[in-house]
Chains A and B, each alone.
Chain A
């Protein structure tokens, strides 16, 4: 998270490349983890992370450090990208639902031969899916983005104390959910 390697100078000698390269190295793990918490699928998380950094690079000239930290800016892009992804997915699911309305679908559970980590991960995503959208968002920013409550408050437009309150409530919900499963 705190590595500060540049994009190789010979590949990208421009100042934009150097600055963006440093920020890329620094924020890639957090952004990826944030998206992975939100979507619960690493392949989709990779696709969305690529989109996020591509958008960030396209609009990098418009980023003004005086207006806020880069973390706030990049995680706002990440947040909007995830929201767009869910909107698009919901639309597609509705279309598919219409197409297969008459068919009864039976999904068989896959055999429980996954490793414990995968099982725990599935449980976590099940529990996360039961949370309210703002609670899911908060957990993803906290654990995925490794952000402070103050940073989260700027991204979500809440007060810092409100973030703390929601975070504690959400942790209690997750604990109860984990205990039930």
Chain B
């Protein structure tokens, strides 16, 4: 009897379950996993079917209504951007940082030119470069690298030389942002905006005086331990320990980087988070009250309509920090070059630049736009760095290939 029972058990286990029924169970579970995997993911996937219609002959011929729209949207005192006289494609693909292009401008562009603008996002320069290297060529029209990456992109053959004749609005750009060392002839880049990396804090909770990286490290490891964050960006986080000891931000000296590593590892246990995407919310909710971040969010928090975050402060540390310029570039193999040129010229129109600046909180490189922005924006030290502090800013170069820095960063992330 026991034998029979055991045999029955084994039969169940062997025959019926292990084959059919249990395949069904696995199939159901796999279906669930498949659903999960196929659920739309947020960032950085190349537009799937659409770019196959790359042929520019598939025209949106400029509709006559756009001429009226052009004059309607030009609220600035400068002349409106002329409607281009060449045939525009029906799509344009923008490869951008997240939350870095005003939705108002997106709608305005689509309405004015009749072109559907699709935005795909990336989280860091390195990620953008890696994706382009892995076969992103021909998928996007315009990308937004930080200036120091543009030379790497140009060297890798990912950029097209710009036809300046099609970009008359470039005359609006401040000369300081042209002929940058990364692109001395401005063959490739159209400056977008510029900003700094520094210290952000909530003034109502973080009441200690803070003017330097030294203060930042002391407070982060001391009174505000567990309430400090840094952005998830090695190029920015390395600035703090290097400038703390007076080293060049672009140093590759092994000894100097080792000292930076020790500083970073000493800071690591006291961090609330290492995050570039949601730190604005973190500051709003005061899960962290002190951080190493970019200046745009300082302005956005300060000017929040609810008025709840007016106490947000921004500091350019006295030891110095970096400034960076974000740029528009035209990618090689762009499927919609005409629409892209129309965009690049249109975006340098002061009206559009004004909308962009107020949306992201970053200073525009465009002088004509500066003239039409509200005075409290232009005079806000968190946006336009005061002249006496300009000397503290240095330019960073692309160090993503440095193995020691990569190792230190991996160790830092690990904790």
State yes or no: do A and B come from one complex. no
